[in-house]
Amino acid sequence: MTAAVQEQLLSHYFWKKMMNMLLCTAVLVLGISAFLVGAAQNTENWLTDFRFMTVNGTLYTVLIAGLTAAVSAKEFISHKEIYKTILYCLRLSSAVTECVIVMVVALSFLPFIPDNPDILRYDSFCMHVVIPLLSVISFLLFETPEDRMKPLHHISSVWLIAAYAAVMIPLIAMGVIPRRYIPYSFLDIGYQPLWYVLLAGVIVFSGAFLIAGGLFRLNQRYTDRWIVRVIRYEKSRRA
């Protein structure tokens, strides 16, 4: 590879770092503002909002976005790559979580599901639409991909969803969470048909696993695409 190609790759690489930093910072700011607005609107007990996967997932995404913005800023300033396989996996799991949030919200608009999120409220719109969109775009286009990731490793991307289910289901089953506070109808295991609960679980977890593989492959493809574009450009200049 010629010095000119290396220079082009380096320039594009650090442009990606800057964009990643900016998008993650936007997620961080929007997430904090959404939590503040939500807490102001629910003055009685804002902690009850954390029974929703949306709120927990957004909190997780905001924390990962803040960490990613800091790492990207460090790389952009120092011009040195920081080896961060763990952070890549965390970012993948964050993007998967946001996709699942959008999937659950989309399912809630089906006629046989009695959930009805107030999507037009500021905090709800940020958590259900804007933050998922920015998080997925940031991961797909501007995150440096891992070389390989076995399909079974994609299971690690759904750990937050599994942890949420592992906590919420026993609390609901034991009656610790009253029925009026059950966040989603498919978690109302004492009153909903078994097929409904199981179908929702299969859709969410199988969907999350497939989304993880799809996001990983798309991240690699988009990264490979801009590398190939730079190399072809350099060849055309020499021709």
pLDDT of residue 151: 66
pLDDT at 185: 77
CA distances from 159 to 44, 47, 80, 206 (A): 31, 22, 30, 13
Range of the domain at 92: 3-238
CA distance 74 to 187: 42
CB 34 within 8 A of CB 126: yes
Cβ–Cβ < 8 Å for 116, 108 = yes
Number of domains in the chain: 1
Please measure the distance between the N-terminal and C-terminal CA atoms of the chain and give it in whole angstroms: 16
pLDDT confidence of residue 138: 92
**pLDDT values of the chain reduced to their tens digit, one per residue, 239 residues:** 566 656 666 666 778 888 889 999 999 999 999 988 888 877 666 677 788 888 889 999 999 999 999 988 887 777 676 767 788 888 999 999 999 888 877 776 665 555 566 677 888 889 888 999 999 999 998 887 766 666 666 677 788 888 888 888 888 888 888 888 887 777 888 788 888 888 888 888 888 888 988 998 898 887 766 666 665 665 666 65
